[in-house]
């Protein structure tokens, strides 16, 4: 039985002329133990798909079965309960509450359970130890590196022992060291037998995946099995096409960017290739009305 079975799923946002078809009759089956990278330009529907799979939202049309159970029409509070017991969700940023320590943040999802505070903190502490963050338990998020914040976010996603982990651009705000830390940790979670879905713009990170799903304009345009340790071949082509061939090209790219957006300082430390993949222009994407 697949973990995730999505059939003819569409998602529409808005009404009338302002309608956006974010997902267009998507079919997707994911088996237990897969480690799936989701790639595609900004606005193609990756987060919409992750939110549906993570039961943070419902499809407009179509069916979704999670562990063999139909979940596409659940009431929000029922969905929230299933989500809490089955799914760990990691976002690109705003993952931790700033006024709580790493330990308190990780213990948060246990609050509803009928267990003492001491026990909850002990469980959180064990998970933090597993992700290599034992010595940072009492740090506030602002005292941690970006990579450490994401590791704590992964710890929090794991504390209820979910079998499915969904990470929407977990390395989107991280430098290469932070990205590696996070991906190595997700790999370990995968090796323990969990199913993982993660969104990335970085072709290099397909090395960690067993499968890469490529999206465009609300549909899945390619689906590729890939060996762990190797960059997926389609992702590699995309990398080859967009990678600057020399420093001059790189500089030319930067100056072109500066002309286009004169005063937007970027906090990102990612490589220019990653940034290029990220930039697809929203203005050309029309809101498509369904039929």
Residues that bind ligand ADP (CB under 6 A): 13-14, 20, 22, 40, 42-48
Q: Cα separation of 180 and 145, whole Å?
A: 13
Shortest distance, position 91 Cβ to ligand ADP, whole Å: 11
* 183 contacts 192 by C-beta, under 8 angstroms: no
What backbone phi and psi angles, to 5 degrees, belong to 109? Answer: -65, -10
Q: Cβ closer to Mg ion: 104 or 169?
A: 169
Shortest distance, position 249 Cβ to ligand ADP, whole Å: 26
Locate all alpha helices (DSSP H) within the chain, ordered by sequence.
46-53, 76-86, 102-107, 117-130, 146-158, 176-191, 233-242, 247-260, 272-278
Q: Cβ closer to ligand ADP: 42 or 145?
A: 42
Q: Cβ closer to ligand ADP: 47 or 234?
A: 47
43 interface partner picked from ligand ADP, Mg ion, none, CB below 5 to 8 A per type = ligand ADP
For residue 14, give the DSSP letter. Answer: S
Beta bridge partners of 11: 23
Q: Cβ closer to ligand ADP: 52 or 155?
A: 52
Shortest distance, position 227 Cβ to ligand ADP, whole Å: 26
Q: By rule CB under 5 A, what count of residues binds Mg ion?
A: 2
Q: Cβ closer to ligand ADP: 121 or 287?
A: 287
Pick the closest to residue 252 from 282, 272, 267, 279 (CA basis): 272
Torsion of CA 73, 42, 210, 58, to 10 degrees: 0
Shortest distance, position 45 Cβ to ligand ADP, whole Å: 4
Half-sphere exposure of 177 (CA within 13 A, CB side): 3
Tell me which of 35, 45, 47, 150 binds Mg ion, using CB under 5 A: 47
Shortest distance, position 199 Cβ to ligand ADP, whole Å: 7
Shortest distance, position 85 Cβ to ligand ADP, whole Å: 25
48 binds Mg ion (CB under 5 A): no
* 63 contacts 9 by C-beta, under 8 angstroms: yes
Site string for Mg ion, 17-46 (x = CB under 5 A): -----------------------------x
Q: Cβ closer to ligand ADP: 40 or 109?
A: 40
C-alpha pair distances (Å), 289 with each of 11, 20, 222:
11, 7, 23
Q: Which residues bind Mg ion (CB under 5 A)?
A: 46-47
């Amino acid at each position: 039985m697949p973990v995730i079975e999505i059939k003819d799923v569409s998602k529409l946002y808005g009404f009338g002329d302002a309608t956006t078809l974010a997902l267009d009759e998507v079919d997707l089956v994911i088996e237990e133990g897969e480690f799936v990278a989701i790639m595609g330009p900004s606005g193609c529907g990756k987060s919409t798909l992750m939110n549906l799979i993570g039961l943070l939202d419902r499809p407009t049309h179509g069916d979704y079965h999670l562990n063999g159970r139909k979940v596409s029409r659940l009431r929000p509070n029922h969905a929230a309960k299933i989500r809490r017991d089955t799914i760990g969700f990691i976002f690109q940023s705003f993952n931790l509450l700033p006024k709580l320590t790493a330990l308190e943040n990780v213990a948060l999802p246990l609050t509803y359970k009928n267990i003492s505070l001491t026990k909850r903190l002990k469980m959180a502490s064990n998970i933090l130890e597993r992700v290599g963050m034992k010595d940072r338990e009492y740090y506030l998020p602002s005292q941690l590196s970006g990579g450490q914040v994401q590791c704590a976010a992964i710890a929090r996603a794991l504390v209820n022992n979910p079998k499915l982990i969904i990470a929407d651009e977990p390395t989107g705000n991280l430098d290469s060291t932070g990205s590696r830390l996070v991906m190595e940790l997700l790999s370990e979670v995968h090796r323990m037998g969990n199913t993982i879905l993660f969104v990335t713009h970085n072709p290099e990170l397909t090395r960690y995946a067993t499968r890469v799903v490529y999206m465009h304009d609300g549909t899945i345009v390619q689906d590729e099995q890939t060996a762990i340790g190797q960059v997926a071949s389609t992702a590699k082509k995309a990398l080859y096409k967009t990678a600057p061939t020399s420093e001059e090209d790189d500089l030319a790219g930067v100056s072109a960017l500066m002309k286009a957006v004169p005063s937007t300082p970027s906090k990102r430390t990612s490589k220019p290739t990653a940034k290029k993949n990220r930039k697809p222009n929203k203005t050309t994407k029309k809101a498509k009305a369904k039929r």
